[in-house]
Structure 1
Amino acid sequence: MTKKRETNVRIVTICVFIATFMTAIEGTIISTAMPTIVGSLKGINIMNWVISIYLLTNAMMTPIYGKLADKIGRKPVFMVGILIFIIGSALSGISQNMIQLIIFRAIQGIGAGSIVPVSLTIIADLYPIEKRANILGLNSAAWGIASIVGPLAGGFIVDYVGWHWIFLINVPIGLVLMLLFWIYMIEDDFEIDKGPVDYLGSVILVVMLMSLLYGFQTISDGFSFITIISFASFFLALYLFIRTEKRVPDPIISLDLFKNKTYVIVNLIAALISGFLMGVEVYIPMWMQGVAGTTATIGGIVLAPMSVIWMFGSFLGGKIMNKFNNRQIILMGLLPILMGGIFLVLVTETTPYSTFLIFSAIFGVGFGLTMTILTVLAQSTVESHHMGVATSIFTLSRTVGQTIMISAFGLVLNSTMDKGLVAKESLGANKGMMNKLINPHTANELPSELIGDLRNILSGSIHNVFLVGVCLVVIALVLNQFQKKVSLK
């Protein structure tokens, strides 16, 4: 009798980790290479779209891939996503101008949109709930490692190989992953849903998300006519989407999910905490470089403890899941984040570097514990046939939270900074000087008599950003109290 083939859990898990890391580092490795890419392809006025378009298309496709993973299986959706990502990477690596690069990065983002949500769904399929937190912790570590390794690897590749290989290196890695996944991921028992696909709902969903995320992208530069049009398009698309999903037999996103109070609150908390995480990752290095006067490398390393200890927080979540309910565990995770946020509001220019490292580690415990338990909750509080969609919506909630809050933080920073500069206008202070201040390579070009005032303006502006971040954590704490108590045994 022929032995039935089964999934090789270890190899598939490693493939999931590598795929997650590959997409995570794609968002960080390019930051170091951008000056070289702009110098090679020209087009400095549209350079931001090289990063933004990747995030936009990634977010737009996430819920669609989640639904497909529930209908036709995790394996084909995951492999198609990697294939599209490989094609986008190869085309990006041979781009001849900035327009081409932006288009090809959009393709790359479309492929990447399948990898994170389907990876989390595969982990949920392979591991029982008591082991899942540990695996999710290791998977989350890929993002932390990517945030540290990405800029360093980007600099090395640009200096010694060429910027094209920032994208081309994904091709051989992706092909190996596809081969391993094809051989070792077995889904023979998956029941394929042959029902009609909600094409209209999918199209409206893409328009809705594109309008929302693009609208918030434009806010950081101030409200404009394009911003108004974007948000008007979003609300119109939202109305049409809800109307469509109520009528089709198998909607792309089941509106019944939003009747689940715990699931809704979990997604709201994830959006808030992911938004604050963006503030931590962007504005602590800015403080270190612009206010404390450190180098870019030293400013980035301050977040290393958070990335490393994040895994510990996830493992801790796995250990205590059987002892506490969901509200208690999330509270345990939010309190260290709140403590770290209050510290950031109170820091001064003379706060020692070592203190930042300590609180970076405290953030790691809080974020690791909170995000892991929220992921487990998002998957375990819905029916199994909705797991792919539920996981993708959870991933989307985090992305939307990050997009909205990074725009809000930019508004807070710029408005506070502008007020401070007006007060010092008589001394010759201007916005250009602030740009020089946050760049360690140009800070020494500023008049020495103005550096103290400029640092005060910058520190006050960043303090306001951190204050908004603390408010997000407080709202998350309040929302957590409205959750229904759920045992995670």
Structure 2
Amino acid sequence: MEKQTNIKLVTLGVFTATFMTAIEGTIVSTAMPTIVGSLQGMEIMNWVFSIYLLTNAMLTPIYGKLADKIGRKPVFLIGITIFILGSSLCGFAPNMETLIIARAVQGVGAGAVMPVALTIIADIYPMEKRAKILGLNSAAWGVASVFGPLAGGFIVDTVGWHWIFFINVPIGLALLLLISIYLVEPKREKAGQPMDILGSMLLMVSLLLLLLGFQLIGDGGFSIKILLFFFGSAAALAAFVFVEKRAKDPVISLHLFKNSTFVFVNLIAALISGFLMGVEVYIPMWLQGVLGTAAGLGGLALAPMSVLWMVGSFAASSLLEKSDVKRVLMIGLSVILFGGACLILVSVNAPVFLFFVISAVLGIGFGITITTTTVTAQNSVPHSDVGVATSFNTLSRTIGQTVMISVFGVLLNTVMHSNLSQSGLKVEADVMNQLVNPHTANEISSELLKPLRGILYSGLHQVFFVGIGLVVVSLLMILFLSRPKTANSVKMR
């Protein structure tokens, strides 16, 4: 008797993969102030997040193509193996530069985990059951949002930050075992069309040069070198478009960009995801650096956002049945705008519970907006292109996060350095690293603690002000949405 896939155990493996990648964001955000204080690298802290997002985003379309050509199982196992390797290297990192390199490796593996996991669900479940399973799969993000900060704070406060990465190793090994044994795939015929390697490489080069340009601005201001990076990024992007037009199997189909609705909902998704990254990284830093809370409490403030995200997603589904996309997006973005405005208006001495409330409000807004942009991106194209549209929507969100975390890092460092130099305080250069680490902040003298917290508050204030600007631009983009010209369309008035 031919061996068949054990659907229940493979589904458990997919849920485990989702949980592992979901908890990676919340647990690292919680521990980052401690890591920065330990490795002395606040100036390049944003690279810990951005390099992971960059390698993740750049490899996602390649993994998707490979999964179609050689099968889901080998690609998924390769991705998990690389992720385990990268996690181990992160845990052993002796300095910030090594940690960044290790996070790049981790991102290479993560690029296969989520998209291939969702593809496996599509393979093993019929259409009528798939939506329910995907809904349950998304619940793993809510669980991770609660467990991640608690686990991150506990690990940091007890055995040390290194173990927030080592914890991925046993989870990943269990995942390898489940998928290796219980996922059975039919043999595939050798693909006739070659991989679009050149297009993939050009896309990677374009975004890498763009990100390097933003990072170098924060290191030393504008220069000829930075302009060359941006020029190189634009040239690589132009070459990418040229190659994609002639590729037999393009990594991104350019005909999708003739659909204005598809373009604008993905732009909105990218901008809002960029603001989301700022919220996830800098709210814990606010609580730990400005208010002096423990690492666990700083990260736990993000839990209401992820839990209420699910509520926002369900609300979006209900609203889309009764109203048009423009109106639903207006509601979601307005909620985000209100939450962002609260972050701007709260004082330096704002109570901790207020951040839990703001986090909950933002979660509802993000849930409505991101779900609506995803559904609209899928429904604005013919059914034959839904898979490609979904992949690009994911890529757009990741690119938005990658670019904006660099921009926010540049902005925060610039404002803090400027305010520190103008304050006249006689302090060491690494004093801000010391401030954001709950374990070392108490070593700063009481007369310096208040002005330093004010400087950090000012920098974070500017970060969230720019974030609100992204939301305002997204609201303006709603005006350019038009009715999708497909049978698969949702309401668009």
TM-score grouping bracket, smaller chain normalisation: 0.7 to 0.9
Q: CA deviation at 1:351?
A: 2.7
SS at match of 2:55: helix
The one-letter code matched in structure 1 to 2:167 is I
Distance 1:99 1:261 in 2: 41
Query: 1:439 & 1:304 partners in 2: Cα distance?
Result: 21
Query: Paired residue for 1:63?
Result: 61
Number of the residue aligned with 1:473: 471
Counterpart of 2:139?
A: 138
CA distance, structure 1, for counterparts of residue 332 and residue 70 of structure 2: 36
- When the two structures are superposed, what TM-score results if normalisation uses the length of structure 2? 0.82
How far, CA to CA, are the matches of 1:100 and 1:283 in structure 2? 23
| Partners of 1:37 and 1:458 in 2: CA distance | 15
Match of 2:271 in 1: 272
Q: Secondary structure at the match of 1:415?
A: helix
Assess, with a 3 A threshold, how the Cα gap between structure 1 residues 466 and 241 changes in structure 2: closer, same or farther: same
Give the C-alpha shift of residue 242 in structure 1. 1.0
User: Residue type matched to 1:134 in 2?
Assistant: G
Equivalent in the alignment of 2:176: 175
Shift of 1:341: 0.5
Distance change (3 Å), C-alpha of 1:165 and 1:444: closer
Are 2:390 and 1:391 aligned?
yes
Q: Which residue of 2 aligns with 1:245?
A: 244
C-alpha distance 226-18 of structure 1, shift in aligned 2 (>3 A): farther
Per-residue deviation, residues 290-311 of structure 1 (Å, max 9, x unmatched): 3223222222222221122112
SS in 2 for 1:321: helix
Identical amino acids, percent of aligned pairs: 49
Q: Report the CA distance between 1:287 and its aligned residue.
A: 2.0
Q: Secondary structure at the match of 2:347?
A: coil
Q: Which residue of 1 aligns with 2:366?
A: 367
Moved more, 205-214 or 135-144: 135-144
Q: Using a 3 Å threshold, how does the CA distance of structure 1 residues 11 and 316 change in structure 2: closer, same or farther?
A: farther
Letter in 1 for 2:274: G
Give the SS at the match of 1:365: helix
Conserved 8 A contact 2:284-2:299: yes
1:347–1:105 distance in 2 versus 1, CA, 3 Å: closer
Distance 1:448 1:90 in 2: 38
Change (3 A) 1:244 1:327: same
Aligned residues of 1:262 and 1:483 also touching (Cα < 8 A) = yes
Within a 5 Å distance, the mapping from 1:415-454 to structure 2 comes to 415-425=414-424, 427-428=425-426, 432-454=430-452
Classify 1:202/1:299 alpha carbon distance in 2 versus 1 (closer, same or farther; 3 Å): closer
**Partners in 1 of 2:224 and 2:159 — Cα distance?**
38
> Which stretch shows the higher mean deviation, 387-396 or 131-140?
131-140
Query: By how many angstroms is 1:172 displaced?
Result: 1.9
Q: What letter corresponds to residue 296 of structure 1 in structure 2?
A: A
- 2:211 alignment partner in structure 1: 213
In the alignment, what sits opposite 1:199?
Answer: 197
Question: How far has the Cα of 1:365 moved from its partner?
Answer: 1.0
TM-score (norm 1): 0.83
2: CA distance, partners of 1:435 / 1:215: 24
The Cα of 1:61 is off from its aligned counterpart by 0.4
Question: Residues 294-334 of structure 1, C-alpha deviation per residue, up to 9 Å, x if partnerless?
Answer: 22222222222112211222222233332222222222221
Alignment partners' CA distance in 2, 1:33 and 1:169:
22
- Displacement of 1:19 after TM fit? 0.8
Deviation, 1:248, is: 2.1
Q: Which amino acid aligns with 1:365?
A: I
Question: Does the 8 Å contact 1:61/1:113 carry over to 2?
Answer: yes
Q: Distance in 1 between matches of 2:459 and 2:400?
A: 21
- The equivalent residue for 1:459 is 457
Q: 1:257 to 1:12 in 2, by over 3 A?
A: farther
Greater mean deviation of Cα atoms: 462-471 or 162-171: 162-171
Q: Quick check: 1:21 aligned with 2:23?
A: no
